[in-house]
Amino acid sequence: MKSIKVGLLGAGTVGAGTFNILKRNQEEISRRAGHKIEIVMVADLDLARAKELVGSAECEVVNDGNLVVNHPDIEIVVELIGGYGIAKDLVLKAIANGKHVVTANKALLAVHGDEIFKAAQDKGVMVAYEAAVAGGIPIIKALREGLTANRIEWIAGIINGTTNFILSEMRDKGLDFDTVLKEAQRLGYAEADPTFDIEGVDAAHKATLMASIAFGIPVQFDKAHIEGITKLEAIDIRYAEQLGYRIKLLGIAKRTPQGIELRVHPTLIPAKRLIANVEGAMNAVVVQGDAVGATLYYGKGAGAEPTGSAVIADLVDIARLADADPAHRVPHLAFQPNAMSALPILPISEVTTSYYLRLHVSDKLGVLANVTSILAESTISVDAMLQKEPELGESQTDIIILTHQTQEKNVEAAISKIEALPTVHGKVTKIRLEHLS
């Protein structure tokens, strides 16, 4: 049985997961792959960490990633460093040296993917990235290979476990964002600096990659519209619940005749949808194809072994095709490089969706009439409305409006007019709503 030699860049959480699974399931994996997949070198700046991981295994430990990417026997380099700096440098060097690359680095690919895939294409090597989106769920494989018959219409995913954990807790316990974030940090579900997660950046990296392979467009992270969950209030989660909806941070990629919508934001979805019931740190992605209809993929989106599982699936794929003609391989972005689409990413003002609006108003006759006439003027039709009784002793109350589908710019214009009404107090809260049907 041929042995495929692998070099590992980064001995952190996912590096350890990958290393340990390969050790534990060596025989099972070889029985599938027909090759022995062997990590022969691990590089980490923290040499002690790498040494501890490797233990007594026959595997070199170094603190310079260049030794991995320049190693003559290594056929596949696994990049688990993260970020745009040294990771990019080493990935490009590995490619230049004719090595295949497996990476979990969504940030790198969402921003520099075109450059990296082009380099790999020119050199005739593979860059695999199943671990970059939704951890252990084989969603890249499903999109690139399982659904090739379909014209993909849209994708909507819970693709960040931290924010889904926070939203689940906010709903379950009726707590505010800040309180739950602290709890999530204590439990290890959120990092010390959680910005990338809670501001939606991580989800946008993943949505960017999914949009590319669904629609055959170049990666365009800079055009994604990104809103996190930091401004979400517990009261809106409660109102949504009363109206039969849950609020989830969704990564959405949708094809329209005008272009592609690519956006990450808190979203109301009907509580009866399967994906609305994905709780805690779990991930799920719904893909709507014209032939297959909706399919859903669910599992752990992060963690050492779930992500390591995806890394190794890529290693097995590459082991199989390492010495095959490049034409026998799946294109990096699902579509042949000469058959990509030039469909533009739409600005958020051009996006079409439904909306949840919360207005804080004086409890006076005529307020509702004023609001609804503004909506009518903006050709926004109302799907449902909820007016709360004022609290005892209060003269103000909340009105919740769910709209039918309309363009974002219409809603923005209407909100400006509504906020100018003397009977409407403060800002209007706007959350997008998707029926996912």
Residues marked as catalytic: 206
Residue 157 assigned ligand-binding role? no
Residue 191 assigned ligand-binding role? yes
Residue 13 assigned ligand-binding role? yes
From candidates 292, 376, 384, 386, binder to its own copies by CB under 8 A: 292
Per rule CB under 8 A, is residue 354 in the interface with its own copies? no
Per rule CB under 8 A, is residue 36 in the interface with its own copies? no
Residue 8 assigned ligand-binding role? no
Residue 10 assigned ligand-binding role? yes
Q: How many helices (H) and strands (E) are present in the chain, helices listed first?
A: 15, 17
Q: What is the DSSP string of 110-142?
A: HHHHHHHHHHHHHHT--EE-GGGSSTTS-HHHI
Interior/surface letters 90-129, b for 16+ CB within 10 angstroms, e for the rest: bbbbbbeeebbbbbbbbbbbbbbbbebbebbbebebbbbb
Residue 250 Cβ vs its own copies, minimum distance, rounded to whole Å? 17
Per rule CB under 8 A, is residue 306 in the interface with its own copies? yes
Cα 251 to the chain's mean position, in Å? 6
Question: For its own copies, which stretch binds (CB under 8 A), given 131-139, 378-386, 401-409, 411-419?
Answer: 131-139
Residue 124 assigned ligand-binding role? no
Size of interface with its own copies, in residues (CB under 8 A)? 64
Question: For its own copies, which stretch binds (CB under 8 A), given 134-142, 165-173, 184-192, 391-399?
Answer: 134-142
CB 289 within 8 A of CB 280: no
- Tell me the C-alpha distance between 102 and 23, whole Å: 18
- Tell me the C-alpha distance between 302 and 274, whole Å: 20
Question: What 3-state class would DSSP assign to 183?
Answer: helix
- Tell me the C-alpha distance between 103 and 285, whole Å: 20
Question: For its own copies, which stretch binds (CB under 8 A), given 186-194, 202-210, 236-244, 315-323?
Answer: 315-323
Convert residues 184-223 into a mask of x (bound to its own copies by CB under 8 A) and - (unbound): --------------------------------x-------
Complex with its own copies: residue 119 or 310, whichever CB lies closer:
310
Residue 313 assigned ligand-binding role? no
Q: What Å distances lie between residue 312 and 6, 32, 166, CA to CA?
A: 11, 12, 30
From candidates 8, 16, 110, 147, binder to its own copies by CB under 8 A: 147
Burial of 219 (0-12, 13-18, 19+ CB in 10 A): buried
Complex with its own copies: residue 157 or 331, whichever CB lies closer:
331
Residue 168 Cβ vs its own copies, minimum distance, rounded to whole Å? 13
- Tell me the C-alpha distance between 173 and 183, whole Å: 12
Complex with its own copies: residue 151 or 364, whichever CB lies closer:
151
Convert residues 324-343 into a mask of x (bound to its own copies by CB under 8 A) and - (unbound): xx-xxxxx--xxx--x----
What are the backbone angles phi and psi of residue 43, rounded to the nearest 5°? -115, 135
From candidates 28, 73, 377, 419, binder to its own copies by CB under 8 A: 28
**Helical packing angle, 26-33 and 13-24, nearest 10°:** 80
Per rule CB under 8 A, is residue 15 in the interface with its own copies? no
**CB atoms closer than 10 angstroms to residue 310:** 29
Residue 9 assigned ligand-binding role? yes
Question: For its own copies, which stretch binds (CB under 8 A), given 92-100, 224-232, 258-266, 271-279?
Answer: 271-279
**Helical packing angle, 86-96 and 106-123, nearest 10°:** 20
Residue 303 Cβ vs its own copies, minimum distance, rounded to whole Å? 8
Q: Which of residues 397-436 bind its own copies (CB under 8 A)?
A: none
Instruction: Specify the residue for token string 């924010």.
Output: 163
Residue 315 Cβ vs its own copies, minimum distance, rounded to whole Å? 8
R_g (Cα) of the chain, nearest Å: 24
Residue 16 assigned ligand-binding role? yes
Binding-site annotation, residues for NADPH: 106
Q: Point out which residues bind its own copies (CB under 8 A).
A: 17, 21-22, 24-25, 28-34, 130, 136-138, 141-142, 145-151, 216, 274, 277-278, 289-300, 305-306, 308-313, 316-317, 320-321, 324-325, 327-331, 334-336, 339
Binding-site annotation, residues for NADP(+): 9-16
